[in-house]
Chains A and B, each alone.
Chain A
Amino acid sequence: MEKLSPQEIAGRKLRKLIQENYTSQEEFAFEYGTDIRTVSRYINNGINKINAIQELADFFNISFVEFFKEE
């Protein structure tokens, strides 16, 4: 099984957090203040930037490190 990069793990975590808190990615994108293409990119390709993960972690009230815990 292909090992995921930390950035990809963060993207998967985001998908899980969205599923737990929203009925759709569109709903999350609207509330968060981004567009659906960015959300899709984060989920499918991973999240590369530290500040982007920090903002998401802050929004979902989890720590930066928690974003990289594999489920």
Chain B
Amino acid sequence: MTKAQKIKNFVEGVFDLYGFNKEGLFYYYDDKGNRIDIPLFLSNKIDHEMLEEISKRIGLTKNEILCMDNVAATKYWNKYPFYKLFKKYLSVWQWNSEFIDPKPTAEELLLNRLFGKGEGIYVRKRYNINSIQTRLIDQLKNFDSVMPGSYYENGEIKNLCFSTQEFFSFPQCSDMIRSLVEMVKNIQELFFKAIADNISEDEKLELNFLAHSLTAVDVVTPNTLITYENISVYKKVYIKEGYTDFYDYVKIKGIIKTCPWRCKEFFEDIDLVQEFINIFPQAKAAMREFAMDVSKLCCYFDWIDKDTGETLQESIEVYVPKTRKETYGWGKHINTLKRLSGPTKKGGLKTSLRTPFVLSDETFHRLQNRATAKSGGNL
């Protein structure tokens, strides 16, 4: 194996360790969706321009990459427990309805021993569709008293199906989030140090690493990661804008898609949850939607005339609250989630309104300044 290939394997290992996206550097997808591998170094020769690019992404010096320095490669892994915990978190993160039922039925026990997975007994949650339909009809009759047309006396519910959400358990969730919050605090500090030209070489590397890991981008030009190089290009713009709030310059895009509020242990430390929302204020709305879905069954159905079979109303969506048994002991977590995701005046988490980027005079001006800075012009 050539040294170029060994270095390629080393770099790929670092990408895998920290969960960096390898697309664009190690492979791409063609028009037909086929994955095409890309050699890291063309003609198998170590390319110093590519080394520079890799250095900026993974926060190692070119020399550390050339020496395939494993100690350097794991420095952020050791500094931030987030990475180790996040890998564990992803392995238990579930989008389907499987969960561990502490009291499976005898039939389910037998079936799972014969066909179940290796660790523990996984029992698919079951809901009684007849019970759901009965409760749905009772609810619609009640709604009809205030919103006529909700219930059809001569109607029949057809094609009823439903969806719902569930919590999962990851006991180290708070530790993981705490480490994430520390990473964000550090990148904030490094960002302002970079603007003030008061940043060491090691700090530049960490800034670059965190920018990639957290997908921390300029709020006006969201394709621009806040690496040291890009901050240097925009520095005069940032100084001129004069904001003191980090989030007036930067948006953190990474991590949020993994929805830690689906984990019941997420709510153990409310102050920590508030810190998370300070970083990702848009998560509060997602928490609200999840609160709705985890506490209720979302029913989809059509109303059909009993006598004629004619469709009276179709594709209706109505929530039916779960019974206590259907919430499987998560009542306390559901109540906490609902309160925290509700209005601040009623005990909900505080959010800062971060208006989505809309082309106004102010944002156009900010965009123009960045374009001028990039082209080397004077502001």
Chain A residues near B (Cβ < 8 Å): 6-7, 10, 20-22, 26-27, 30-34, 49-51, 53-55, 58-61, 64-65, 67-68
Contacts and interface: CB of A to CB of B under 8 A. Distances in A.
Chain A, interface SS category: helix
Interface string B175-194: 00000000000000000000
Contact of B343 (A33, A34, A60): A60
8 contacts: A31-B285, A32-B288, A33-B284, A50-B317, A54-B318, A55-B292, A58-B295, A64-B143
Nearest to A52: B317
Interface string B73-103: 0000000000000000000000000000000
A51 B147 contact: no
Most chain B CB atoms below 10 A, which of A22, A31, A58, A64: A31
Interface stretch (B1-9, B266-274, B345-353): B345-353
A64 B146 contact: yes
A50 B316 contact: yes
Contacts of B355: 26, 30
A59 B353 contact: no
A22 B343 contact: yes
B357 to A, nearest CB: 13
B142 interface: yes
B148 interface: yes
B342 interface: yes
Contacts of B285: 30-34
A54 B148 contact: no
Interface string B249-291: 0000000000000000000000000000000011011101101
B298 to A, nearest CB: 7
B343 A31 contact: yes
B147 A7 contact: yes
B338 interface: yes
A6 B148 CA distance: 8
B150 interface: yes
A50 B147 contact: yes
A21 B346 contact: yes
B240 to A, nearest CB: 27
B330 interface: no
Chain B CB within 10 A, most for which of A22, A26, A58: A58
Contacts of A7: 147
B152 interface: no
Contact of B142 (A22, A49, A65): A65
A53 B142 CA distance: 14
Contacts of B286: 33
Most buried by A among B140, B146, B319, B341: B146
A67 B143 CA distance: 11
A54 B299 CA distance: 12
Contact of A50 (B143, B292, B338, B345): B143
B74 to A, nearest CB: 39
A34 B145 CA distance: 28
Given A50-B147, A61-B346, A30 B317 contact: no
